[in-house]
């Protein structure tokens, strides 16, 4: 009797080891379902069922991926380590398919986009990924809003996930990632054609704005979400990079430089304004700042003075004639200009030819 029990235990252990190490890894009769994925069982060419392995999620009756209800009591019989029984031996098999996509990955220790590279994938998969993944796509020579019509190459990152593995493999077009990206590229090109370059560059820094404009599009909401079983994540579309023709890049760089220089002049002039006002009153810069901040009328006067002096400073540096008229100035402006005339001799600039 004891010998029979020992033989039975050894036999069961041997069978388990065969299933675990030989059969399941090759999807023969048994299979392993990795965390965050699903596997499809087919019989011949027909769909039979799907397995899901993702903590907190399950399938509904239509094979949509849903959060497990709090009152759920059903548990699958074979659930150890993702191990599943296919069904009828050698008849029910795990479905495999080819998938092509592009992703962005960190290629070096460089920071930002400089340390990333776009990688193309083409693999035969025996599972369906369920967790959100980031995919890459690009539109080339997409023209901005007329009459501007600047041709741009724009790279996009799209975060999406499979919400129904049955639909994504048997309802959506073959190679679902490529087809989603082809349709999205048409949407992105149309969106670009309704924007100026400045508007696109602003959206590049604000992905939420891009989502507000395209997130409720029928293509994303209905075609992908309801028909194909693909969900684009909220705020899951962003511009990775905008490339302009060389001549536009030079113009943009020049404009950026001019803006930085103008900001520097403004900061320098405002500092001079505060210093001169403080000096004329015999108080500190911090005290004059508090005085201005506590009086809305003085705030307005100060901003007008600072704006005027920035304009004059730019005019001086540009070679134009400078004329400071103190007579007639009132209040804070008169006080400041008198102090400025007394303590700082302003250059005259170049005489006009």
Q: What is the pLDDT of residue 251?
A: 72
- Give the helix/strand (H/E) hosting 305: helix 296-317
Taking only the tens place, the pLDDT of each residue in 255-270 is 666 666 666 666 666 6
CATH number of the domain to which 213 belongs: 3.30.479.30
Taking only the tens place, the pLDDT of each residue in 229-241 is 999 999 999 999 9
Given 94, 129, 154, the domain boundary residue is 94
Select the more confidently predicted residue: 290 or 88: 88
Q: What is the pLDDT of residue 331?
A: 47
Query: Is residue 180 in a domain?
Result: yes
Tokens 């001086």 belong to residue: 316
Cα gap 270→288, rounded to integer Å = 12
Query: Is residue 350 in a domain?
Result: no
Helix, strand, coil % in the chain, rounded to nearest 5: 45, 25, 30
Joined tokens for residue 308: 């005027």
Domain check: are 125 and 192 in the same one?
yes
The model carries a pTM of 0.69
Q: Where are the beta strands (DSSP E) in 187-246?
A: 230-243
Which of 36-50, 303-317, 325-339 is least confident?
325-339
Given 94, 118, 138, the domain boundary residue is 94
Mean of the per-residue pLDDT values of the chain: 82
The domain total for the chain is 3
Domain check: are 216 and 205 in the same one?
yes
- Per the omega criterion (within 30 degrees of 0), is the bond before 147 cis? yes
Is the pLDDT assigned to residue 351 strictly greater than 90?
A: no
Domain check: are 82 and 107 in the same one?
no
Cα gap 61→53, rounded to integer Å = 16
Domain check: are 32 and 123 in the same one?
no
Joined tokens for residue 352: 């006009």
Domain check: are 104 and 200 in the same one?
yes
Distance of CA 326 to the CA centre of its chain: 54
Taking only the tens place, the pLDDT of each residue in 84-105 is 999 999 999 999 999 999 999 8
Joined tokens for residue 337: 């200009």
Domain check: are 221 and 321 in the same one?
no
The neighbour count for residue 265, using CB atoms within 10 Å, is 16
Cα gap 157→219, rounded to integer Å = 17
> 327: domain range?
257-343
């Amino acid at each position: 009797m004891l010998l029979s029990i020992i033989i039975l235990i050894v036999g069961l252990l041997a069978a388990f080891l065969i299933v675990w190490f030989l059969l399941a890894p090759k999807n023969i009769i048994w299979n392993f379902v990795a965390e965050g994925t699903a596997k499809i069982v087919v019989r011949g060419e027909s769909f039979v069922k799907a397995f899901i392995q993702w903590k907190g999620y399950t399938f509904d009756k239509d094979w949509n991926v849903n959060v497990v209800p709090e009152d759920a009591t059903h548990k699958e019989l074979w659930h150890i380590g993702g191990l599943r029984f296919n069904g009828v031996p050698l008849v029910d098999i795990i479905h495999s398919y080819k998938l092509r996509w592009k992703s962005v990955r960190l290629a070096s220790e460089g920071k930002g986009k400089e340390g990333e590279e776009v990688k193309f994938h083409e693999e035969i998969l025996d599972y369906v990924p369920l967790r959100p993944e980031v995919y890459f796509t690009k539109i080339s020579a997409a023209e901005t809003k007329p009459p501007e019509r600047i041709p741009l190459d724009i790279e996009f990152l799209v975060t999406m996930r499979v919400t129904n593995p049955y639909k994504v493999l048997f309802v959506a077009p073959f190679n679902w990632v490529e087809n989603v990206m082809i349709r999205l590229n048409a949407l992105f090109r149309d969106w670009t054609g309704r924007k100026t370059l400045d508007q696109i560059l602003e959206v590049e820094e604000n992905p939420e704005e891009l989502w507000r404009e395209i997130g409720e599009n029928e293509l994303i909401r209905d075609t992908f979400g309801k028909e194909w079983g693909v969900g684009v994540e909220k705020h899951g579309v962003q511009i990775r990079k905008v490339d302009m023709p060389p001549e536009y890049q030079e113009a943009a760089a020049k404009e950026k430089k001019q803006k930085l220089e103008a900001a520097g002049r403004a900061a320098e002039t405002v500092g001079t304004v505060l210093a001169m006002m403080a000096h004329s009153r015999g108080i500190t810069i911090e005290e004059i700042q508090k005085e201005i901040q506590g009086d809305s009328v003085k705030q307005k006067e100060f901003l007008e003075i600072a704006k005027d002096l920035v304009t004059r400073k730019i005019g001086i540096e540009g070679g134009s004639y400078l004329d400071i008229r103190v007579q007639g100035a009132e209040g804070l402006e008169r006080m400041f200009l008198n102090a400025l005339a007394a303590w700082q001799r302003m250059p005259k600039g170049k005489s006009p030819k």
